[in-house]
Every structure is written in C-alpha cells, then in structure tokens.
C-alpha cells in the first residue's frame, strides 16, 4: 500500500510538472522604469510547422485588470494548435479620472500606452520567432473592452507616428486579424480598403460603457472634459462591409458591457472557428444575433433584435 501511494505521488508530481510547462511567464520588455510580463501557452506536442500566434489584451478601463484573465482562452487556443500569450500592460489610467470628468488628452495617452505595449510584445515575438517557433505572418491580436480598443488601434494607428519606444516592426508588417470584445475605435477613417484585416467583433447592443454603434465614450455629454467619440463594433462591421472586408459580428441583443468577454470566457468555439477560417484563407461577412432576454433604450434602436 505504501509503495502504491509513492507511485501515485510520483505520477501526480509528473503530471503537475507537465501542466506547469504549458504556461511560461516571460518578461517581454524591460527598461529602467518599466517591466512587462506575459503568460505564454504553447501546444504540448512540438510542431514541425511554425505556429500562428494569438496575443490577448485584458480589459479594465486602462486602470485595472490582470493578464490572468486571458489564461483560459490562451490555454484553449494552445490546445488547438496555436501559440497564445496574454499580456500585462501599462495601466495609465490607474488613479486617474477616466470617465466624463476626465481629460481627453489623458484618455488618448491611456490608449497609446496600451497600444505601444502590444507593439512591444509583437516585436518581442518577431525577434524571438525561432525560439518559440512562431510564424510572424500569422500574428493575431485579441482583447476585451479596453483590450478591444487597444487591438483596434494597434492594427490601424500609424506606427511611426504613435510609437513611444525604440522598437521597430517590419515596414510591411500587418496583423493577420483581430478579435475585439466590446471594443471601439476613435476614427473609422483609420481603417482603409488597403489596410483592412479580417475581424471578429462581439458586443451587447445595450452597452452603456463602450458604444455598440457610434456615440461618445460612456455616453458623455458634449460639454464634458472627457468627451470622446467612439465607433463601436456595429459601426466597424458596417464600415468593413462597405469596404468588402472579411468580418464577423456577434450581437448580444439587449446585452450590456457584461458581455464584453463572453466569447473569450464562456463560448470559445466561435473564436477558434474565426481563426481557423482566416488561416484557411476564407472570406466571410456574417452577423450572428444572440438573444439575451434583456432590453433597454439603447438596444431598442436596433430592430433586428425585435
């Protein structure tokens, strides 16, 4: 009996060791004032082919949240043949006013710091592509809420204009695609017919924090110091349709901001299907409407939910 217990303990230790190896915590950037980490998940079986990479940016209003929020979707993707990493980034809005009573330049700086950290993580994997067996032509970016806003701006902001560090990205670099949960972009004109990439967007059309359509951040009045116009998932979807882009929109009818992470946390298959379809070179334009049993004044404006 004693020997059986020892064998069981050894097996448990071996399994625990294998599980620990699935997740690596890596410092992807460090200077005199800043140290940034990520959790990397890789497929258990080594691949002869280079791996597509998915980077995840957590939510939290640029003031809170933690990279561990992305562990579940990252682990799921690693189990399905992807390298996946969830990032810590600069929470510039921490201890600052970030709603209607905030300062507009400070809001934009919060976006910029997060975007730059995502660019730093991208540069890290490009520089270390051989070490981690990464296919740098297949880097996808994903995020929820503030993370969704981050990936949208990382994909379409002018890198040379908005970069804050000495890192570089290849001149012809473009992300392979993005997934945004309850995200928005400051200017639809940033997305052009030439730079568009495949997108999966999901959003509650009753979201009172980040607009589903086009409205001010937090629906602030126009005289607010923190007034910032945003174009949410529905506006981006329609813009991509007009530009003949590849796009998939999931609308949670009546849903609020609580649905911002739903397809990362509770129903991960659509995320995997999107990535696999893009990898296969498929083009699609679809809108999936998901009832929630909720309704409010914002969602009532969208009659396809009736």
Residue 283, burial from CB neighbour count under 10 angstroms (0-12, 13-18, 19+): exposed
Domain borders along the chain are 25-305
Per-residue pLDDT of the chain (306 residues; tens, 9 = 90+): 444 444 444 444 444 334 433 799 999 999 999 999 999 999 998 888 999 999 999 999 999 999 999 999 999 999 999 999 999 999 999 999 999 999 999 999 999 999 999 999 999 999 999 999 999 999 999 999 999 999 999 999 999 999 999 999 998 999 999 999 999 999 999 999 999 999 999 999 999 999 999 999 999 999 999 999 999 999 999 999 999 999 999 999 999 999 999 999 999 999 999 999 999 999 999 999 999 999 999 998 999 998
Query: Listing from the earlier edge strand, what are the strands of the sheet with 247-253?
Result: 23-30, 35-41, 83-87, 51-57, 134-144, 177-181, 199-204, 247-253, 285-291
pLDDT of residue 222: 96
d(CA 299, CA 306): 10
- pLDDT score of 14: 41
DSSP letter, residue 293: S
CATH node for 25-305: 3.40.50.1820
What pLDDT does 22 receive?
A: 74
Predicted pLDDT at 40: 98
224 contact partners, CB below 8 Å, separation of at least 6 = 100, 101, 216
Q: Which two tokens stand for residue 13?
A: 């230790």
State if pTM tops 0.85: yes
How many Å apart are CA 257 and CA 207, to the nearest integer? 5
């Amino acid at each position: 009996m004693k020997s059986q217990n020892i064998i069981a303990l050894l097996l448990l230790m071996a399994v625990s060791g294998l599980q620990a190896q699935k997740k690596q915590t890596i410092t992807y950037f460090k200077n005199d004032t800043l140290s940034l980490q990520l959790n990397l998940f890789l497929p258990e079986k080594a691949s002869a082919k280079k791996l597509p990479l998915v980077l995840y940016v957590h939510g939290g209003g640029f003031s809170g949240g933690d990279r561990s929020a992305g562990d579940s979707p990252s682990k799921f993707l690693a189990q399905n043949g992807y390298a996946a990493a969830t990032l810590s980034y600069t929470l510039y809005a921490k201890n600052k006013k970030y709603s209607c009573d905030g300062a507009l330049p400070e809001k934009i700086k919060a976006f910029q710091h997060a975007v730059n950290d995502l660019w730093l993580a991208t540069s890290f994997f490009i520089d270390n592509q051989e070490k981690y067996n990464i296919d740098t032509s297949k880097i996808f970016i994903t995020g929820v809420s503030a993370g969704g806003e981050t990936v949208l701006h990382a994909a379409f902001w002018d890198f040379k204009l908005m970069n804050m560090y000495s890192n570089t990205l290849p001149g012809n670099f473009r992300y392979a695609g993005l997934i945004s949960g309850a995200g928005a972009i400051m200017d639809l004109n940033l997305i052009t017919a030439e730079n568009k990439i495949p997108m999966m967007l999901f959003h509650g059309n009753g979201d009172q924090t980040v607009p589903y359509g086009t409205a001010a951040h937090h629906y602030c009045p126009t005289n607010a110091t923190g007034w910032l116009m945003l174009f949410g998932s529905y506006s981006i979807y329609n813009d991509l349709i007009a530009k003949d882009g590849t796009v998939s929109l999931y609308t949670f009818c009546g849903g609020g901001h609580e649905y911002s992470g739903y397809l990362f946390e509770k129903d991960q298959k659509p995320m995997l299907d999107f990535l696999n379809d893009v990898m296969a070179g498929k083009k699609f334009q679809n809108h999936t409407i998901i009832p929630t049993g909720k309704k409010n004044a914002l969602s009532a404006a969208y009659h396809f939910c009736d």
